[in-house]
Amino acid sequence: MTTTSDRPSEALTQVSKRVSQSVFDGSRLRVVLLVDVYDGAQQQFLEAYEQLCNQVASVPGHVSDQLCQSIENPSQWLITSEWESAPPFLTWVNSEEHVQMVEPLHSCVRDTRSLRFHIVRETGGAAGRQEVGQRRLQAHPRIGDGLIRHALTFTVRPGTEEKVAKILAEYASPEARVDDTTRLCRTSLFMHGNRVVRAIEVRGDLLAALRHVSRQPEVRAVEAAINPYLEQDRDLDDQESARMFFTRAALPAVHHVSAEGAPEGRRLALFYPARQDRGMRLAELLAQADSAAAEDPASPVLRSTVFQRDDVVVRLVDVRDERDAVPEVPAGLRELLDGEAARMDLITDRRSPEV
């Protein structure tokens, strides 16, 4: 298993105010997993955790973990872990190895929620101050735009691309309002060959938005319509089958940058097939290039989000004009590619009306 460079690149060490999201600043990562265990399943949960704990201890970049039980509700548990930086954690958590590793937990867990944080400040007693001073902390708090970005990707059977594109282009939009604090803001769908990428922008709680979307009749209808064409079988009426599909389909955002005062632009997506185990490094180089572009007033790039999972890397870019040239592949990146970078076909790009 490979990770990004041990030493963060100079371009990303000092976080720009234009960068609202990045996993590449080299600082320590704290992962928090909130778990609700079925009544009577605590012993089964503990045994599954011990097995998982022994396996994760050998994963590169892992530092430590803790298991905590609520003093008020014995079904509520908290798992925290610390990692040298975000890239090795993401490389592990998005791997098929991790999918198989955590499977024993699902039969005894009612609900989970995973939160990931870069460590910005840290205090300790006199004995620990020297160690704390040597740890890498996030240099500056990032200033976001209030949006959370996430994507899903999956493949369809070759020869069915036109049918799938038509289904995805014509579905009715779901209700944008999730609750008083969460709403769907934008959904962009792209295809390249038989690969589909669906990127969403959410204001508020991403998990609540994803659950909301999965329950909407418009979305359930389109998911059922494309079901026969998927390369990976799934049964949306089977909770475990659906969970496994969407776990493998998740394409997390690892970097987002916006030019200062950037207006609305034209949206395009670029697909980068990475060589085996080189996806994270490829995403890091794209992040560097986009951070530099945001500082250049002459650049056509207004904002950019890099999504990465395993060897799939997608760059969602808003440019000033659709006639602008597709951004060049940065130097040093071609050797990481397993094929040519390609502009994806836009299927639909929908904004929710403001209320």
pLDDT score of 326: 60
Q: What is the pTM of this model?
A: 0.88
Question: Which residues of the chain register pLDDT less than 50?
Answer: 1-15, 127-130, 355
pLDDT score of 54: 86
pLDDT score of 354: 65
pLDDT score of 293: 83
Q: Alpha helices, DSSP H only, in the chain? A: 10-13, 42-56, 86-93, 96-101, 103-106, 129-134, 161-170, 206-215, 217-226, 239-249, 279-294
pLDDT tens by residue, 58-75: 999 999 999 999 999 999
| 214 Cβ neighbours under 8 A, 6+ residues apart | 220
pLDDT score of 324: 58
Q: For the purposes of burial, counting CB atoms within 10 Å of the CB of 64, is it exposed (0-12), middle (13-18) or buried (19 or more)?
A: exposed
Give the position of tokens 């639909």. 348
pLDDT score of 328: 65
The CA–CA distances, whole Å, from 102 to 14, 48, 96, 106 equal 35, 8, 10, 7
